[in-house]
Structure 1
Amino acid sequence: MRHLKNTLHRPTLRPQLSRFRLERWHRFWVYGTFGGLVLTGALWLVAHYFLRSAGEFGEAVNPLEPWSMKLHGAAAMVALFFIGSLLNSHIRRAHSARRNRASGWVMVALLALLTLSGYALYYIASESSRPLWSAGHWILGLVFPALLVLHITLGRRAAG
């Protein structure tokens, strides 16, 4: 009986490739949430820079701008939850197995910078520094989808 008990908890020497791939429901929510973030951020960019119209007292804010920002903020809260869910189920295991580390750490750094700049826009930025924080945030946000696709592609290529 003791032998059986020890074999149940012994870690395998070679990690299974499927251990790093997210389950279907998890992929759905992670990709959907990040897609929602990118879409609402892009919608804000378009509304802010291209859809403003002349009003009675100067340039008027397009009605899509505040709504896209509210949806973007809501998606960011959901994204923080799913980033946390990736820490144990994906990041920790892949890191300890030395799989796709470079693009993985770049993803972690980019997500941290996006979180920091989003927080700064909401709580720290003054009217004079807001354009700089904003530009940094949306530039990183536009880089994110390409990096996510690269990370997934590299991971799948390494798997087989």
Structure 2
Amino acid sequence: MKNPRPQPSRAGHAIHMATHATPLRMTLSSKWAIWASFGLLAASGCLWLIARYALRTQGQFGELPSPLEPLSMKLHGVSLLFMLFFTGSVLHSHIRRAIRSHRNRVSGWLVIAMLVALSGSGEVLYYFASEQARPIWSEVHWITGLLFTLTFVLHPVIGRKSRNGSGKLNSLYK
């Protein structure tokens, strides 16, 4: 059977790669997967914040947790697994090429560093934090989570500006 996609010769391929800019755009399915898992992750984290700090009630023996707290934590844990999986799936196709092209590196590395920090602080909260340390780790985790949300949303905006060469962001994030 004949190969439906002819392969370029090595010399032609090298010339092609050298003369064209490296595309950094993710596939549509990757974008949808990342944004859907991120949306669920952010929404479940915000739901937990609301349930924890706004929906608790006073009972006969003190403060009672909202029934949404455990549900939001379970959703948050599941969505984290998907977010990490899909982030890992774009390591080769998007992140590696972006590093080589020297574009949008500051916000990209910030997204990665914050995701690592959030994963680490989440693990500490789940497995290692004592009852005395839990409130501190919780605050670190949700404050970092809110900052991560902002950084994650701004990352493609900054990338588009650097790709188009418009605005002062281009010179800042090259």
d(CA) in 2 for partners of 1:131, 1:122: 12
Q: 2:44 aligns with which of 29, 40, 45?
A: 40
Q: 1:155 aligns with which of 143, 154, 159?
A: 159
Map of 1:12 onto structure 2? 17
Map of 1:105 onto structure 2? 109
**1:33–1:78 CA contact under 8 A, matched in 2:** yes
Q: Deviations over 1:127-149 (max 9, x none)?
A: 11111110000001111121112
* Paired residue secondary structure (2:17): coil
Map of 2:64 onto structure 1? 60
Percent of matched pairs sharing the same residue: 46
Matched, 1:126 2:95: no
* Paired residue secondary structure (2:63): strand
d(CA) in 1 for partners of 2:19, 2:49: 46
Q: Deviations over 1:33-68 (max 9, x none)?
A: 111111000000000011000112111111001000
The 3 A distance-change label for structure 1 pair 8 and 124 is: farther
* Aligned residues between the structures: 156
The 3 A distance-change label for structure 1 pair 15 and 80 is: farther
Where has structure 1 moved over 4 Å in runs of 4 or more? none
Map of 2:167 onto structure 1? none
d(CA) in 1 for partners of 2:135, 2:110: 25
Q: How far off its partner does 1:158 sit?
A: 1.5
d(CA) in 2 for partners of 1:135, 1:8: 54
The 3 A distance-change label for structure 1 pair 57 and 16 is: same
Structure 1: gaps of 5 or more residues: none
Structure 2: gaps of 5 or more residues: 1-7, 165-174
**1:15–1:97 CA contact under 8 A, matched in 2:** no
The 3 A distance-change label for structure 1 pair 40 and 142 is: same
TM-score, structure 2 normalization = 0.84
